Structure 1
Amino acid sequence: MAQKVYPMTAEGKEKLEKELRDLKLVKRPEVIERIKVARSYGDLSENSEYDAAKDEQSAVEQRIAQIEQMLKYAQVVEADSVDPNEVSIGKTITYTEVGTDDPETYTIVGSDESDPLSGKISNESPIAKALLGKKKGDTVTINTPGGSFDVTIDDVESK
């Protein structure tokens, strides 16, 4: 079975590396200290501080493992290395739904970088999947759980 590759922008990889450092150097020691303090209260069977600290420790360790896995198999996508008119991860796309005059603009990023409220959509989203590999001027059908619609790609730009 092939290992999953995690496509991401250089900015997204940097953000993950920073989060990993913070988890290992700040968060993990804080949680370990809270566990030590909670242990000092005695009876662990009814010690809610101890239980909460252990739960947080588990969450921190899981996130560390997840980030390490993502970084190990990261595939940094350089938007500049792709045809300037082709939609790819790291590029900002402006499209207009056929029959409307209301353009929408999104930057396509790796799934862990996605933040739709700030205009960053995951490469695994229905919109991005439909647009990836297409070129400026193409009309594309986007299939979403809410139905399908056609869009025309107005602009493709690298950051």
Structure 2
Amino acid sequence: MEYMSQEGYDKLVAELRQLESVELPQVREAIAEARDKGDLSENFEYHAAKREQGRLLSRIRYKQRVLAHARVIDMSNRTSDCIQLLSRVEITNLGNNSRMTYTLTSPHEANLREGKISVKSPIAQALLNKKVGDVIEVRVPAGTLRLRVERIEM
């Protein structure tokens, strides 16, 4: 089961609709055009279109599985006393005194440029259920980070 925000769920639904209603019909049309050109055994366009169709069908099935197991989190009854999924957290790296703000999201919504990190990442795992003022140590590929929780928002 994947928990996610309403925004992330709506985005996945829109991507699935785009794949099913726009991209897949285009690929099917390209296959039909390539098939009309004759011998399929030596027709590069036909084979390329079939590969693209397989890739698209795989993406569609994956998104359908994610949506089938997705649960949208009700934000109305959540508190900001400890860090949870979809919490916005301001932390300080005690090694270099830099401040960072992240939102803990499902892996499907993670985007570092937007400050959204996957709840399955090492930093997010270490932050879960912590409170303001807590100091944590996280093992990351670059070494060990010491982080202090400064603020939690919903």
TM-score, length-scaled by structure 1? 0.90
Partner amino acid, structure 2, of 1:120: K
- Is the CA contact 2:80–2:87 (under 8 Å) kept in the aligned structure 1? no
Partner amino acid, structure 2, of 1:115: N
* Residue 108 (structure 2) pairs with residue 142 (structure 1): no
- Is the CA contact 1:78–1:90 (under 8 Å) kept in the aligned structure 2? no
- Is the CA contact 1:79–1:89 (under 8 Å) kept in the aligned structure 2? no
Q: 1:152 aligns with which of 133, 145, 148?
A: 148
With 8-17 and 130-139 compared, the bigger mean Cα shift is at 130-139
Q: Partners in 1 of 2:40 and 2:150 — Cα distance?
A: 62
Q: Among the aligned pairs, what percent are the same residue?
A: 38
Change (3 A) 1:97 1:137: same
Change (3 A) 1:55 1:111: same
Deviation digits for residues 73-119 of structure 1 (CA, Å, limit 9, x no counterpart): 11222345332122122121110012433101111111011111221
2:106 aligned partner: 110
Matches for 1:17-96 after TM superposition, within 5 Å: 17-96=13-92
Give the C-alpha shift of residue 66 in structure 1. 0.6
Change (3 A) 1:67 1:34: same
Root mean square deviation of aligned Cα: 1.4
2:9 aligned partner: 13
Q: Partners in 2 of 1:27 and 1:122 — Cα distance?
A: 28
Q: Partners in 1 of 2:61 and 2:131 — Cα distance?
A: 37
Q: Partners in 2 of 1:122 and 1:78 — Cα distance?
A: 19
- Is the CA contact 1:9–1:89 (under 8 Å) kept in the aligned structure 2? no
Please give the secondary structure, in 1, of the residue aligned with 2:51.
helix
- Is the CA contact 1:38–1:49 (under 8 Å) kept in the aligned structure 2? yes
1:119 aligned partner: 115
TM-score, length-scaled by structure 2? 0.93
Give the C-alpha shift of residue 144 in structure 1. 1.2
Please give the secondary structure, in 1, of the residue aligned with 2:16.
helix
